[in-house]
Chains A and B, each alone.
Chain A
């Protein structure tokens, strides 16, 4: 989260920068960056001028592009994330039998903590965790996860239509050894030794697609968010509801049960207020029957809770009142850190919507971009 008046947009057909003056009302769209590339995540390191893009095309394999001068010039990583060339035994199931893993997309990017200059983490499909210590130029496997003896079990639940995704890499700002990751499908995992070993953290989370009752893993977290002012507080939007936990507790509480029943608590993104760990926003979607993944009833709305999920307020002023079937992906919603928090989300229709009053009212600030995959303030 940043006080910046700039939004980094990743789309199915390239990346864009949206910039505004301090009013956050007049936005300009940059020329496309890597036009035609599938951009799953476009992230700036808040402590430097480094920006990193996870990219691929319909034909070409995955790579990472990086800018060290705030987006003025770009170059390709000399060693993008890749699994080990040797067969480590952690293969993926396929109709033809087990096959070695190869990175299909660089799906998630997280810069290091405030004191960790040059450090970045990447999550991939199929699920892989990689680290760079040189501003994203060369990437190494985090073997504690990728070569973990439990890897095949943790990821055996299959994946999304885009594969098994490793996302939501969350670094505890107060503990250099403590981090979380989410796997769709696999669950939430925690490391207390800087990635050397991992434990599942899924108790209390419903799972409707497993034959095993209350399994330790195999869940489908869509997006996990961690408070930056109190990193013990985490929320997550799951395939099966909205949850909160305050560590050292180990059981998630389903706060989505407090959402209106006609809306439900299914969705993808999860955003926490930059200063108030009790304040969160979600963007519900229709998760009934065949999972349209669109706004319930064709009436888009953000839902906000200021009391840790006990109650929820519908925020739809300015959003279309009917016939608007938005899909907002898990990386496609973010907030800034202004006093009146700015919230931003991007839709599969290529629109960016903004609120500069904590979600109370919304304006469409950009139309006609390609399908939006990620939104990051930075």
Chain B
């Protein structure tokens, strides 16, 4: 399935903004991405598999909080670095 990557994580994907991930849940997809791009998961998700405060994960058009949400191969995941800062 397609996973859209935000620019703060391009250093892991070598500037590729849409990558392929595999898994039956969002968490499994992120774990799969971490195999392909070591270290990427911990920048988005903490040690308790909780999405970090300024990151958002969308499954198709719906924001999800539970990484155990099931996914299918036709779904699309979009990871967003929430607008913030100064």
Contacts and interface: CB of A to CB of B under 8 A. Distances in A.
Most buried by A among B44, B48, B81, B85: B48
A72 interface: no
A59 B54 contact: yes
Contacts of B9: 60
A85 B47 contact: yes
Contacts of B52: 59-61
A58 interface: yes
A76 interface: yes
- SS of B interface (majority): loop
Contacts of B82: 59
Interface size range on B against A: 20 to 34
- SS of A interface (majority): loop
A60 B44 contact: yes
Interface string A167-201: 00000000000000000000000000000000000
A48 interface: no
B74 interface: no
Contacts of B49: 85
Contacts of B39: 63, 76-78, 80
Contacts of B46: 61, 82, 102-103
Interface string B1-43: 0000010110000000000000000000000000000110011
B85 A63 contact: no
B84 interface: yes
Given A59-B52, A85-B47, A103-B47, 4 more contacts: A60-B55, A63-B43, A78-B38, A80-B39
Interface of A: 57-61, 63, 76-78, 80, 82-85, 100, 102-103
